[in-house]
Amino acid sequence: MLTNKTISTPRLKQFVRFFRESGTPVFFIHGNGSSSFFWEETMQNLPEDFRGIAPDLRGYGDTEDQLIDATRGIADWVADFQALREALGIEQYHIAGHSLGGAFLFPLIAEEGERVLSATLVAPGSPFGFGGTKDEKGTPNYADFAGSGGGIVNAEFAKLMGQKDRGSDNPQASPRVVMNTFYWKPPFKPEREEEYLSSLLSQKTGDTRYPGDFVPSENYPFVAPGNYGPINSTSPKYIGASVEKFIHAEAKPPVLWIRGAEDQIVSDNSLFDFGTLGKLGLIPNYPGEDVYPPQPMVSQTRYVLEQYQRNGGTYTEVVFDDCGHTPFVEKPEQFLTRFHPFLENHK
C-alpha cells in the first residue's frame, strides 16, 4: 500500500512516498521536470521482501521550498538525502535514479558507497554534467562552461510550467507537448497522463529555482551558468569534480544502467544540447563541431563506468529498443524483468 508522509529533518521538510513498512529499503530518485510520483507504479511492483521510498527532491513536488546552491553541484541534494536516510533510521539500501536522479547517484556513491547495496541508473544525465563539454572525458568547450546552466532552458517552457499550463497549443514549449514528445517515444502516452503532467508542473520555478539564473558569455551559445537552481547544479562547472571521487570510491556497489535506444534528452545527439541544435542549423552563430560538438552524454557515462569497473566496481548496460527517456514508464514489464533480479542478487 502506498502512503505519503512529510519527514522533517534538520535540513528541510521532505515529502516522501512509501510502499510497505518493512523489507529491504529501495530508494527511488526522480528526474527534472517530475517528482516522486513518476516512481509510484515501479514501487508498487516491488518483490515482497523490499519496501519503496521515494522523496521529492528540494525544488520539486511537495517538499519544502528551499534554495538550491548550485555552486555546490549536487551536494545539497546529497546532504538532503543523507538527512532523510538518518531520520528514517536506514543504514543500507538499494537506490534507483532517473535522469537527473541518475546523475545524483554518482556523487552519492562517492559519499557513502559503503551503504549502497546496488545502484540502478535509468537514462542518467552524464556524470560530467549537462551541456558545454566534448569528448568522453568531459573536456569543457570553454573555460566559462558556456552552454550549460539555467540559460539553456527554453524560457517559455519554464514560464508555462510556472503558470501550471495544461494546454497543448504551443508546439515548442507547452509542458504537455514537451512531456509527450521527449519524456517517452511518441506515439506512446501513459494511461495516467494527467497525473504525470501534474507531477511535471509541481516543480518550483523562478530565477533562483527552475531554471535558475545565468550570466552572459562571449562564447556560443552566449550564456554561462549562474549560482542557483537545479539546472545550474548539473552544470559541469560545478558537478564535474565528483567524477574522480566516484571512480576511486573505496566502496563500489554494483551498477545497473538501463536506457532507451531512442532517448532524445540524454544521448550523444541530444535535442536539448546546443551542440546538436547548432549542428542542425537551429541556433545561429554556431562555431562548428571542432569547437562545440554535440555532447556525447551516453559515451561519457560509459567511459566513467568503465573506469569505475577498472578500479574494482561492476556495471551492466541494458538498452531497450523502441524506447525513449523513461523506460520504467514506457516498458514497465521489460524494466522489472531486469530490475527485480538485480535487487534480489545483491541483498
Please write the tens of the pLDDT for every residue from 189-222: 999 999 999 999 999 999 899 999 999 999 999 9
Q: What is the pLDDT of residue 241?
A: 80
Asked if residues 77 and 214 have their Cβ atoms less than 8 Å apart, the reply is no
Q: What is the pLDDT of residue 146?
A: 98
109-116, Cβ contacts within 8 angstroms, sequence gap of 24 or more: 109/246, 109/249, 109/251, 109/252, 109/253, 110/242, 110/245, 110/246, 110/249, 111/78, 111/82, 112/82, 113/249, 113/250, 113/251, 113/252, 113/253, 114/250, 114/251, 115/85, 115/91, 116/92, 116/251, 116/253
The CA angle 216-295-197, to the nearest 5 degrees, is: 80
In degrees rounded to 5, what are phi and psi of residue 167? -80, -175
Q: How many other C-beta atoms lie within 10 A of the C-beta of residue 141? A: 24
Q: What is the pLDDT of residue 63?
A: 98
Which sign, positive or negative, has the C-alpha torsion 17, 18, 19, 23? positive
Asked if residues 208 and 70 have their Cβ atoms less than 8 Å apart, the reply is no
The residue ranges of the chain whose pLDDT is under 70 are none
Residue 286 identity (one-letter amino acid):
Y
SS3 content of the chain, % helix, strand, coil (to 5): 35, 20, 45
145: left (phi over 0), alpha (psi -120 to 50) or beta: left
Report the C-alpha gap between 124 and 308 in whole angstroms.
Answer: 16
Alpha helices by DSSP H, listed for 151-204, are: 155-162, 175-178, 193-201
Residue 22 cell numbers, joined: 518493512
Q: What is the pLDDT of residue 90?
A: 98
Q: What is the pLDDT of residue 240?
A: 80
Spans of all domains in the chain: 2-149+233-344
Q: What is the pLDDT of residue 207?
A: 84
Report the C-alpha gap between 66 and 206 in whole angstroms.
Answer: 12
Q: Select from 334, 326, 30, 28 the least CA-distant residue to 178.
A: 326
Treating both helix axes as pointing N-terminal to C-terminal, what angle do 75-87 and 100-112 enclose, rounded to 10 degrees?
70
Provide the β-strand partners of residue 7: 14
Q: What is the pLDDT of residue 85?
A: 98
Total-model pTM: 0.98
Class of domain 2-149+233-344: alpha beta
Return the half-sphere exposure (C-beta side, CA atoms, 13 A cut-off) of residue 27.
28
Helix (H) / strand (E) element for 220: namely none
